[in-house]
């Protein structure tokens, strides 16, 4: 199987601070990868770098062995819900159709082919019936599906989902996972950032554990070891009865152990990775 996506020693600096330090990755064609790590670990920075939104201070990103910049729309991105202005006067169809805009096509009308792609994308997320509704009238889960549909309409090589399981209802969570399952057939490579280590371990073929640098990447079993988790989460991890428990401090300000009892944020995850013994 050929490597679709390859990062070679990618580093990103923000104002003198190194946000990502020499990350190298291989993702096979059609692979599905969960990107995990504590807050500030560089998950969002990694995604921004892959989208070309922040310059790489060193390293390169290759798709099928060629620089990503040679492709038209190499990477599609699903934003976090709070990044979107939901009062903007656009319909569901309008938003998904934006996925068909692009380089050199800003002055042309959408072709019938474009419209067909938009319709198919809406169908795949079961939101065809909402096409003419303003986005502000949708529920949170429906809103997320709109942006997933837009990403599909871009027909990207690589799809990046930033925290798609945060703050959504069960239905949307399942719909998102189902879509990921469907995408395997169309060989779209997917990277998903998440705080949900259970999900990462259970539903993805590959896991990337970050904390400013790459701590480990590979199948979940090899990545989620006590040693790696300790390196990534430090004091946010405890070992009880030979089992590793990670308390991801996404609510901010909670003590690592006290957080187990007091944290009510639904994205905080207490994960039992099972055996970590020898």
Partner 1 sequence: MSWLTEPFTMGFMQRALVASIIVGVVCAIIGCYIVLRSMAFLGDALAHAILPGVAVAYLAGANLLAGALIAGVIVAVGISYVSRAGTIKEDTAIGIFFAAALALGVVLISTMDTYAVDLTHVLFGNVLGVSAVDLWITAGLAVAVLVAIALLYKRLLVVSFDPILGQTLGLRTNLLRTGLFLMLAATIVVSLRTVGVALVAAMLVTPPAAAYLLTRRLPAMMAVSALIGIVSAIGGLYVSYYLNVASGGAMVLVATGIFLVAFLFAPARGVLWRLRRPRRAKAS
Rounded CA-CA distance 42/35 in Å is: 10
Q: Considering only residues 62, 98, 177, 238, which one is a binding residue for partner 1 as defined by CB under 8 A?
A: 98
Q: Name which of 51 and 270 has its Cβ closer to partner 1.
A: 51
Query: Is residue 14 part of the contact set for partner 1 (CB under 8 A)?
Result: no
Look at the alpha carbons of 123, 125, 128, 129 in this order and tell me if their dihedral is positive or negative: positive
Helices (H), the chain: 43-51, 92-98, 112-124, 140-153, 170-185, 197-203, 220-223, 226-233, 258-262
Task: Name the pairing type of β-strands 17-28 and 3-14.
Answer: antiparallel
Site string for partner 1, 196-235 (x = CB under 8 A): ----------------------------------------
Q: How far is the CB of 245 from partner 1 (least distance, A)?
A: 29
Tell me how far, at minimum, the Cβ of 91 lies from partner 1, in Å. 6
Q: How far is the CB of 15 from partner 1 (least distance, A)?
A: 10
Is there a contact between 235 and 255 (Cβ–Cβ < 8 Å)?
no
For residues 151 and 200, which CB has a smaller minimum distance to partner 1 in the complex? 151
d(CA 170, CA 177): 10
Note whether 77 binds partner 1 by CB under 8 A. yes
Query: Strand 213-218 vs strand 206-211: parallel, antiparallel, or unpaired?
Result: antiparallel
Contact 226, 213 (CB under 8 A): no
> Contact between 90 and partner 1 (CB under 8 A)?
yes
Pick the piece of the chain touching partner 1 (CB under 8 A) from 3-11, 88-96, 117-125, 216-224.
88-96
Site string for partner 1, 19-58 (x = CB under 8 A): --------------------------------xxx-----
Among 1, 16, 65, 83, binds partner 1 (CB under 8 A): 83
State the burial class of residue 226 (Cβ atoms within 10 Å of its Cβ: 0-12, 13-18, 19+).
middle
- Residues 72/76/79/83 CA torsion (nearest 10 deg): 10
Residue choice 9, 40, 67, 102 for contact with partner 1 (CB under 8 A): 102
- Residue 264 interacts with partner 1 (CB under 8 A): yes or no: no
Give the count of residues interacting with partner 1 (CB under 8 A): 27
Q: Based on CB atoms, which residue is closest to partner 1, 3 or 94?
A: 94
Give min distance, CB of 49 to partner 1, in A: 12
* CA separation for the pair 94, 132 (Å, rounded): 8
Which residue carries 């969960």 as its tokens?
34
* Helix pair 140-153, 112-124: axis angle to 10 deg: 140
Query: Is residue 71 within 8 Å of 63, Cβ to Cβ?
Result: yes
Query: Where along the sequence are the contacts to partner 1 (CB under 8 A)?
Result: 51-53, 73, 75-77, 79, 83-85, 88-91, 94-95, 98, 101-103, 106-107, 134, 139-140, 150
């Amino acid at each position: 199987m050929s490597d679709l996506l390859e990062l070679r020693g990618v580093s990103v600096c923000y104002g003198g601070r190194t946000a990502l330090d020499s990350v190298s990755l291989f993702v096979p064609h059609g692979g599905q990868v969960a990107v995990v790590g504590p807050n500030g670990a560089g998950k969002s920075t990694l995604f921004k770098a892959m989208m070309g939104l922040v310059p790489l201070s060193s390293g390169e990103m290759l798709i099928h062995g060629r620089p990503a910049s040679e492709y038209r729309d190499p990477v599609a991105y699903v934003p976090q819900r709070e990044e979107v202005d939901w009062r903007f006067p656009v319909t569901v169809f309008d938003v998904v159709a934006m996925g068909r805009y692009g380089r050199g096509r800003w002055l042309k009308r959408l072709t019938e082919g474009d419209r067909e792609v938009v319709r198919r994308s809406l169908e795949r997320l079961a939101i065809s019936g909402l096409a003419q509704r303003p986005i502000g009238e949708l529920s949170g889960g429906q809103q997320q599906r709109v942006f997933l549909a837009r990403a599909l309409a871009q027909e990207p090589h690589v799809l990046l989902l930033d925290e798609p399981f945060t703050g959504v209802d069960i239905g949307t969570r399942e719909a998102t996972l189902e879509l990921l399952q469907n995408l395997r057939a169309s060989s779209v490579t997917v990277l998903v950032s998440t705080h949900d280590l259970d999900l990462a371990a259970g539903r993805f073929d590959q896991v990337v554990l970050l904390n400013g640098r790459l701590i480990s990447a590979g199948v979940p079993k090899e990545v989620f070891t006590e040693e790696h988790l300790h390196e990534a989460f430090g004091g946010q991890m405890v070992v009880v009865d030979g089992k590793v428990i990670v308390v991801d401090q996404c609510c901010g300000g909670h003590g690592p152990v006290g957080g187990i009892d007091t944290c009510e944020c639904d994205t905080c995850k207490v994960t039992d990775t099972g055996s970590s013994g020898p």
